[in-house]
Amino acid sequence: MKPEPSSSARSAPHPHAPLPGSLGAFGPGTRIQHYELIRQLGSGGMGTVFLARDTRLGRRVAIKLLHTQDAQFARRFILEARTTARCSHENIVIIYEVGEANGSPYMVLEYLQGQPLDKLLKSSPRLPPSRAVELMSPVLRALSCAHTHKIVHRDLKPENIIVTDSGTIKVLDFGIAKVLQGDEHRGETDPRALLEGLRLLPVPGTRNESLHLTRQGALLGTLAYMSPEQWGNGIPVDHRTDIWAVGIMLFRMLAGRHPLEPLRGPQLMVTALLNEPMPTLRAVVPDVPVELASVVDRCLLKHKEQRFPDALAVLRALEPFLPGRFVHEAGLDESPYAGLGSFQEADSARFFGRARETAALVNRLQDQPLLAVVGPSGAGKSSFVRAGLVPVLKRTGIPWESLIIRPGRDPLGALASMVAPLVTSSPTLEEDLRKQQQITAHLRLEPGYVGAVLRARARRERRRIVLFIDQFEELYTLVPDARERRAFTACLSGIADDATSPIRVVLSLRSDFLDRVSEDERFMAELSPGLFFLAAPQKDGLRDALVQPAEMAGYRFESPEMVTEMLQHLETTPGALPLLQFAATRLWEARDPSRRMLTESAFQQLGGIAGALATHADSVLAGMSSQERALARAIFLRLVTSERTRAIVSLEELRELTRDAEELQRLIDSLVQARLLVIQTGNKATGASVELVHESLISGWPTLRRWLEEGQEDSAFLEQLRNAARQWQAKARDSGLLWRGEMADEARRFQRRYRGELPLLQRAFLDAVLAQATRMARLKRGFVVGAATLVTLLFAAAAVALVFIREAKQEAEHQAVIALRAEASARNAEFLAKRSAAEAEERLAEVQAKELDRQEAELRALEANAQVESTNEELLKKNAELVKAVQRARWAQYLANQALRGAEQSAQQARLARAEAERLLQREQERTLRIQSTLGSSFIETLR
């Protein structure tokens, strides 16, 4: 849902006018039933729009809260909105629910992600006719549905038309204008009310000049798109008011301006003058087709009875101007179908079924410089870009230039071959090759060079450039060097580096190769926002791709059942689009020109969709000789990689499959004529290359599948053989690059089982490998014989050595007896030493015990000293207490004296005890000295 206008013109206060703070209770986190408001998207004179989440269904919605305190108006609004909600159409915004909260009526609508049409028109004010009609057709379909339900929009304008990110065009605000006006059977205003409203409008030329005209707060429309009956001339307003707005928008798209330019604001009131006709389109833009101009002019007739009767009539009048509808005329012999080949830009007129996806991709390109169209094989990615995106870009009115390359085996060389003609031109092939090699080397050092060249060209030519990298998966299937792949992606990053740049890069990539892109983290990060997933066409898209090209050529299918049967089969078939194109091409070839019809009998003879491709390919093989079939088998197998994808192979490399180059050329020409192969002629610097016309051949042709399964064991080996032979040739056939060991053994086994033809280079490499292996085998046999002779000589030497060994053994035994005797003597000496050591340890233990006793005695003496000191301290305290107590208690003096004498005796005893301890300590010290002296003498005697 797009945001509401930021402001609008208002008249004097009225019951419906917004009151200050009337919606102040609503904000992020507020709940309205099971809806939780997230944030405000916009606000206008009619109400405020919030983004909200539906907590019941788990989806995001838009909630529009209206500014009003009029209960009658709220009831009428809810009733009208419910009526509008019943109008269900893919091009009309969906109204999920209506209700009332805190006295404010509200609507719950689908949340649309995209941009309004007026933003597209600002970037390209004047559109080509086909593009303008392409944009307005969905709007007319929406109007037709609404008018059927008797709902008139009454405020149709580019701001109310959204181009979503998915490519769908949605019309907003259906029914609201009808609710907000008075009696629908009268004119919108009387002249006095109108003039009163005009006084409140902005001055022409100001930024708000396109705001709404109001009367007593009621929305009447937007000045630039209001019909004459909306300007107050008493004429009732009906659905033809919307047809007028369609005419204004078409005029603006085709001419780049409003019909009444330079009139603005109140000056547009001249629209109400019925006797003053509107300017004709061709008077402003003479190059517009006459028929298209007449349609626009009829929409802008002031008398509504003279306009188209309904929106469906306008749509039918515009359909011939849709893209591709007026390019081909009925009765042309050219097939309107592409067969198995990809659609090219020149085939855009017959490219159907992808309109929505194309619009979505064009929308994404405006803000995203790097895009990747990702889809399964057979989804039509290349055709979608070449025949869908590029032509639509060129129809937008903006000058676009398209450049297309494929990575191939030399992706940097492909970029260089594209850039070289843009920089300089050379008269000779040698000069071209030299410059391309220089540019290729330069790209490795300066990956931003390509982007600089393209941007300079875009500025110089005043145009935009879209670079299409087709078959991007070839970067991983054909380029084994990861550094080469990173250099290529670095160049692409330098091209698509900013959304403001005039350069866009679009890749087509098979979805099963998407994970390979992540090897370059920087490029993957830049590519991730631009991933565009293209699924196989749905049933409606397939129907358009099948039926509309035939109708464009003036033909039709004989029966609807025939179309239904084809679509039912294709719905469950991988790669449905190329199979459809091929089957339709075969049907076209068997058409009935007299009845201008694609017949059911031809379809049955074709074998239906399933048998069309296989039948055709098998019929081509059936017309070949056995030798040609064998060579065709080798060609097809060579054109399929080990990963079951198409391989691009140079014509020179295919010529190595056989010595008869003329026979090979004739066979390739016949397969190209049969639409099974395609040849890319290349340019001066690159030779011609050959590939399968489409990957659906790999999965849809049973014969090729059988060949691939039979050669499953050899396919990986052949791929290794091709790469190894190519490197061997590039290094001047360096013998160091020849296979050895297990690979040489595998080569020998392959040679014994393989019955097909190999290119000369591969055969030469294989022969060199086998020759080297033979030489190595001979050397190995010589080595074995020499080794056996050496072993015999060693045995003889060993026999002679046994005699010397026996004598040495006897001598060793004699020496062993002598050693045993010496060992016994050593054991006796060791025993005596151990006994002496034990006695010494006993004596030492006694000394240590006595030492412990001495230490304990010393500790007791220290404790006694401490006790004496403690006693002295206590005595001093007591003396102090006694001195203080003498004056208070004389009778205690006797007791104190006795206690003093007792204390003195204790002190004397302590002194005696201390003296006795000192004597004991001295005696123990003397004893210890004597023991130490005795031990020393004993130890010396022992040593002696």
H helix intervals, 256-387: 281-284, 290-299, 311-318, 355-365, 381-383
pLDDT of residue 610: 63
CA distance 844 to 66: 110
Domain stops at, among 536, 553, 585: 536
With a cut of 90, say whether residue 717 has pLDDT above it: no
Determine the structural domain holding residue 716 and report its residue range: 615-762
List, for residues 770-786, the tens digit of each pLDDT value: 888 887 777 777 777 77
- The answer to whether residues 753 and 778 belong to one domain is no
Q: Write the DSSP assignment of 261-273 as a string of letters.
A: TT--GGGGGGGG-
In a domain, 651, yes or no: yes
Name the band, by pLDDT with cuts 50, 70 and 90, for residue 883. low
CA distance 47 to 38: 17
Looking at the DSSP bridge assignments, the partners of residue 39 are 51
The answer to whether residues 384 and 447 touch, using CB atoms and an 8 Å cutoff, is: no
pLDDT of residue 606: 78
Domain count, the chain: 5
In a domain, 553, yes or no: no
- The answer to whether residues 220 and 270 belong to one domain is yes
In a domain, 52, yes or no: yes
- The answer to whether residues 385 and 422 belong to one domain is yes
pLDDT of residue 525: 92
Domain stops at, among 66, 85, 111: 111
With a cut of 80, say whether residue 470 has pLDDT above it: yes
Weakest mean pLDDT among 20-24, 191-195, 257-261: 191-195
In a domain, 498, yes or no: yes
CA distance 510 to 531: 12
The answer to whether residues 76 and 114 touch, using CB atoms and an 8 Å cutoff, is: no
In a domain, 75, yes or no: yes
In a domain, 278, yes or no: yes
Q: Which long-range contacts (CB under 8 A, 24 or more apart) does 901-905 make?
A: 903/871, 903/875
Weakest mean pLDDT among 320-324, 344-348, 666-670: 320-324
> Considering only CA atoms, which of 258, 178, 192 is closest in space to residue 225?
258
Quote the tokens at residue 458.
């875009």
- The answer to whether residues 738 and 862 belong to one domain is no
- The answer to whether residues 183 and 44 belong to one domain is no
| CATH code of 373's domain | 3.40.50.300
pLDDT of residue 896: 62
Quote the tokens at residue 572.
């469950």
The answer to whether residues 613 and 570 touch, using CB atoms and an 8 Å cutoff, is: no
Percent of the chain's residues with pLDDT above 90: 22
DSSP state of 740: -
- The answer to whether residues 369 and 228 belong to one domain is no
- The answer to whether residues 177 and 300 belong to one domain is yes
CA distance 491 to 449: 8
| CATH code of 148's domain | 1.10.510.10
The answer to whether residues 91 and 142 touch, using CB atoms and an 8 Å cutoff, is: yes
- The answer to whether residues 427 and 516 belong to one domain is yes
The total number of residues shown for the chain amounts to: 944
End-to-end C-alpha distance for the chain, whole angstroms = 115
In a domain, 337, yes or no: no
- The answer to whether residues 86 and 179 belong to one domain is no
Domain stops at, among 111, 143, 161: 111
The answer to whether residues 8 and 44 touch, using CB atoms and an 8 Å cutoff, is: yes
pLDDT of residue 886: 58
Q: Which of 70, 118, 155, 520 is catalytic?
A: 155
- Beta-carbon contacts of residue 659 (< 8 Å; ≥ 6 apart): none
Weakest mean pLDDT among 293-297, 464-468, 661-665: 661-665
Mean pLDDT calculated for residue range 416-429: 77
In a domain, 801, yes or no: yes
* Amino acid at residue number 530: G
Mean pLDDT calculated for residue range 132-152: 90
**Any known ligand binding at 64?**
yes
Average pLDDT, the chain: 79
Which residue bears the tokens 């064009």?
362
10 Å Cβ neighbour count for 234? 11
Q: Which residue has the higher pLDDT, 911 or 886?
A: 911
The answer to whether residues 214 and 199 touch, using CB atoms and an 8 Å cutoff, is: no
DSSP, collapsed to helix, strand or coil, labels residue 797 as helix
Q: Is 155 assigned a catalytic role?
A: yes
List, for residues 797-851, the tens digit of each pLDDT value: 777 777 677 777 777 777 777 777 767 776 776 777 677 667 767 777 777 777 7
pLDDT of residue 205: 39
10 Å Cβ neighbour count for 693? 20
| CATH code of 33's domain | 3.30.200.20
CA distance 69 to 72: 9
- The answer to whether residues 59 and 47 belong to one domain is yes
Mean pLDDT calculated for residue range 120-126: 78
Q: What is the tally of helices (H) and strands (E) in the chain? A: 32, 21
DSSP, collapsed to helix, strand or coil, labels residue 458 as helix
- The answer to whether residues 792 and 874 belong to one domain is yes
Q: Which residue has the higher pLDDT, 647 or 286?
A: 286
The answer to whether residues 301 and 228 touch, using CB atoms and an 8 Å cutoff, is: no
CA distance 651 to 405: 19
H helix intervals, 590-660: 600-606, 608-622, 626-638, 651-655
- The answer to whether residues 411 and 429 belong to one domain is yes
Percent of the chain's residues with pLDDT above 70: 83
CA distance 807 to 810: 5
